[in-house]
Amino acid sequence: MMITPGTILGDRYEIIEKIGAGGMSIVYKAKCHRLQRFVAIKVLREEFVTDEEFVAKFRKEALAAASLSHPNIVGIYDVGSDHDLHYIVMEYVEGKTLKDLIAEKGPFDPKTVLEFGLQIVSALRHAHRKKIIHRDIKPQNILVTHDHVLKVTDFGIAKAVDSSTIVATGNAIGSVHYFSPEQAKGKYVNESSDLYSCGIVLFELATRKLPFEADSHISIALKHINEELPKPSQFNPDITPSLEKLILKAADKSQSSRYQDADEMLKDMKGCLTNPHYVIETGEVSDHTILLSDIETEFLRSNGNKNERSKSSSGSIYTEKPQIDEKTDVEEEEDISTFYKVLVSVGGVLATLLVIILLSAAIFLWLPSMGKPKGIVVPNLAGKTVEQAENLLGSYKLKLNVIGEEPSDLTPPGTIFKQSPGENDIVKANTVIEVMVALEMSAKSEGVQVPDVIGLDRLSAERMLDEYGLLYQVEGAYDDMIEVGRVIDQTPEAGQNVSGDVRVTLIVSKGPKVVMANVPNLVNMTVQNAEISLRNEKLRMGNRKEDFSDTVAEGLIISQSISPNKQVEEGTAVDVLISKGKKEETQPAPSDPGQNTPPAGDNLATKTFTLANVPPDIENKDIYHVMVKLTTEDGSKVVFDQQVQRDQFPLNIPIRGKGRGTVETYFDGKTTPSYQDEIVFNEVQ
């Protein structure tokens, strides 16, 4: 559902125009009337509004992203809902996306690539320290200001979308070119997944190309999983070797072989920027070796010996032949030959079958391990106590770190219900596995005490309720004393014990109530009557200016600064333009003092010129500056010059002249060809 310009969200944000759209939301430019600044508002698409779990994740992740404060991250100011609309208020950045900049000016030199990369990775480091993984790093999500400052957007929002949602909304379509292999497989992602996507962005900055292209998005995802990243120097020979190695390391297929954290990548980027010959340390990948079993080894050895013996006997020369009866010798030779032939045939078939079986088994066992990085497979820790997990990880040469406790119905209290890296991920020895432990008392089952949030700002109150595991809803109320955005009241009251499915209602101040008034039509009124009309609507008269008018009598109002019937706040001032009557034309003095000047009107006629409406090629607005010029054989002169409201058309303008002439009309200083008319005056005898 599109939001029309002029719509007010949260009694504060006025929608101006749509500026973008994604798979899960639409982005609008808006104006904050409280702080008088432009903002960007991301509104959740209509199809997700009915999914309560999705909306809850959307809000929770947005609140988490609001904790980020970094010059290279688009700031989040507010999170709210208005009727069925759920929205996030963000910093409005004037500029373009990095994708647009690459299309316009790419490829970039190594220095620019590294300078841009430093800003992106700095933003990621700040987010990763807050335990927020972006999951959708791509040039389309990076804004570039006019000063070439990069700002990463959509932090935390991608984390609120699970894999099924991404596929359903088509959001993966724009991102699959930058997906890490583990994302393409639907496996666990961590900080290195963001750095992989960043490596693909650096590849595109340096080459103006994407490393993997195919006819379908599934084919591209498979390339990320199976194919090695092409060297950037194939597309841009000017790239430095150090930058190329940095990109290849960042986008390594194996999570354990690429950069493990942003600090490590920032160190190498700064090194490459200061020294073109900087050495990037990369892990060496050993070749795959097939180990034969004892049976296979013995089989090959025995068959090899037979072959050697066969070769040796066929090439030997006998110097002495035993004396044997000729007939017996022939019979035995024929018997041995037949038996040998059968034996060789059967043995050959069996040997061939055995070789095929052994090779098939070797290939079956060996092929699945091809491409797998050497490392340790992380075990599943779910349902284990911390002590059990430590003992298990110790046998795997891994370490454990408990990062917190949360209510959970996934595992019994006191056991692990979440881990990072996840089960079956490949890691190096001594890698720290971070885990979350289920609380002894679940808020949903045993109840939790409602905290006191009255007086807090809205975001702080919502964060506190999230920490307590409580659901909540926000309602607004006008208040002349409490600052806008602060909690006035809450239900249930602080200190009450409630179950986890009870929803806490927050009453948030909307500031003093704004009462709207309807602007009356003041045109053709006297000033006194206009003041009375404005007072009746609880408005007031503002500045008064005067001007000549051929159509409005002296003392009456020609136009007003705010259009009639428009809704404005009570107390608003309306400026007016008051008529001074017709401007008297002065006749020039005769050139010959003895010549008599004919009285006015002796040879002039009056003709009424009608302006039916505003031309279609003129901007649509409420008030126009209209000027009409008459050109005759006696020269040119302005016969009408006034401010005219749109609802005053058609406009009848009396013009005095003689003979034939041309009338030209100007709207706001612009001539309109369709309003150049011929005019014929009646000659007065």
Distance CA 657, CA 639 (A): 10
Residue 69: pLDDT above 90?
A: no
Of the candidates 626, 665, 621, the one whose C-alpha atom is nearest the C-alpha of residue 642 is 626
Residue 144: pLDDT above 80?
A: yes
pLDDT tens for each residue of 221-269: 889 999 999 999 999 999 999 999 999 999 999 988 999 999 999 999 9
Please state the φ and ψ torsions of residue 349, each to the nearest 5 degrees. -65, -45
Q: Do 389 and 416 form a contact (C-beta atoms < 8 A)?
A: yes
User: How far, rounded to the nearest angstrom, does the alpha carbon of residue 508 sit from its chain's CA centroid?
Assistant: 29
Of the candidates 632, 647, 644, 639, the one whose C-alpha atom is nearest the C-alpha of residue 679 is 632
Residue 663: pLDDT above 90?
A: no
Task: Kindly report whether the global pTM for this prediction surpasses the value 0.85.
Answer: no
Distance CA 352, CA 374 (A): 34
Please identify which of the residues 11, 84, 136, 287 carries the catalytic annotation.
136
pLDDT tens for each residue of 418-441: 888 888 888 888 899 988 888 765
Q: 320 CB contacts (<8 Å, ≥6 apart)?
A: none
Distance CA 200, CA 113 (A): 12
pLDDT tens for each residue of 110-122: 999 999 999 999 9
pLDDT value for 301: 45
For 234-269, letters b (16+ CB in 10 Å) and e give eebeebbebbbbbbbbbbbbbbbbbbbbbebbbebb
Residue 556: pLDDT above 90?
A: yes
pLDDT value for 598: 46
pLDDT value for 562: 92
Of residues 324 and 403, more confidence is placed in 403
Of residues 303 and 513, more confidence is placed in 513
Distance CA 435, CA 294 (A): 43
Residue 288: pLDDT above 70?
A: no
Residue 512's pLDDT band, with cuts at 50, 70 and 90, is: confident
pLDDT value for 28: 93
Of residues 315 and 15, more confidence is placed in 15
Residue 306: pLDDT above 50?
A: no
Domain ranges of the chain: 8-91, 95-274, 376-440, 444-509, 516-579, 605-680
Residue 173's pLDDT band, with cuts at 50, 70 and 90, is: very low
Residue 188's pLDDT band, with cuts at 50, 70 and 90, is: confident
CATH class of 444-509: alpha beta
Tokens of 280: 């990037």
Distance CA 609, CA 618 (A): 20
Percent of the chain's residues with pLDDT above 90: 31
Average pLDDT over residues 391-408: 86
pLDDT value for 395: 87
Of residues 564 and 336, more confidence is placed in 564
Residue 343's pLDDT band, with cuts at 50, 70 and 90, is: low
Distance CA 207, CA 203 (A): 6
Average pLDDT over residues 277-284: 77
Encoded amino acid at 385, one letter: T
Residue 319's pLDDT band, with cuts at 50, 70 and 90, is: very low
Of residues 364 and 501, more confidence is placed in 501
Distance CA 264, CA 287 (A): 27
Residue 169's pLDDT band, with cuts at 50, 70 and 90, is: very low
CATH class of 516-579: alpha beta
Q: Do 564 and 515 form a contact (C-beta atoms < 8 A)?
A: no
- CATH for 376-440? 3.30.10.20
Calculate the alpha carbon distances from 374 to 223, 255, 256, 288, 335 in Å.
Answer: 21, 11, 9, 10, 58
pLDDT value for 89: 92
Average pLDDT over residues 493-505: 83
Domains 8-91 and 95-274 share a fold: no
Distance CA 139, CA 202 (A): 10
Distance CA 229, CA 404 (A): 38
Please state the φ and ψ torsions of residue 154, each to the nearest 5 degrees. 65, 30
Strand partners, 419: 435
Distance CA 448, CA 682 (A): 94
Distance CA 675, CA 218 (A): 61
DSSP for 407-472 reads --SSS-TTSEEEEES-TT-EE-TTPEEEEEEE-SS-HHHH-EEPP--TTSBHHHHHHHHHHTT-EE
Distance CA 177, CA 506 (A): 43
Helix (H) or strand (E) holding 115: helix 110-129
Mean pLDDT of the chain: 79
Fold of 605-680: Immunoglobulin-like (2.60.40)
Tokens of 423: 């089960």
Residue 560: pLDDT above 60?
A: yes
Residue 63: pLDDT above 50?
A: yes
pLDDT value for 617: 74
Least confident of 565-579, 583-597, 617-631: 583-597
Of residues 141 and 131, more confidence is placed in 141
Alpha helix ranges (H) inside 516-644 = 527-536
Indicate if 268 belongs to the active site.
no
Q: What DSSP designation does 556 have?
A: B
Residue 591: pLDDT above 60?
A: no
Average pLDDT over residues 305-321: 36
- CATH for 8-91? 3.30.200.20
Q: 665 CB contacts (<8 Å, ≥6 apart)?
A: 611, 626, 627, 628, 671, 672, 675, 676
pLDDT value for 440: 61
Residue 367's pLDDT band, with cuts at 50, 70 and 90, is: low
Residue 339's pLDDT band, with cuts at 50, 70 and 90, is: low
* Max CA pair span of the chain: 174
pLDDT value for 283: 57
CATH homologous superfamily for 95-274? Transferase(Phosphotransferase) domain 1 (1.10.510.10)
Residue 519: pLDDT above 80?
A: yes
- How many secondary structure helices (H) and strands (E) does the chain include? 15, 30
Distance CA 136, CA 166 (A): 11
pLDDT value for 292: 39
Query: What percent of the residues of the chain are helix, what percent strand, and what percent coil, each to the nearest 5?
Result: 35, 25, 40
User: How far, rounded to the nearest angstrom, does the alpha carbon of residue 140 sit from its chain's CA centroid?
Assistant: 7
Residue 337: pLDDT above 90?
A: no
Average pLDDT over residues 328-344: 48
Strand partners, 676: 664
Least confident of 173-182, 242-251, 341-350, 569-578: 341-350
Q: What DSSP designation does 603 have?
A: S
pLDDT value for 362: 64
Calculate the alpha carbon distances from 284 to 251, 258, 264, 269, 370 in Å.
Answer: 15, 12, 18, 21, 16
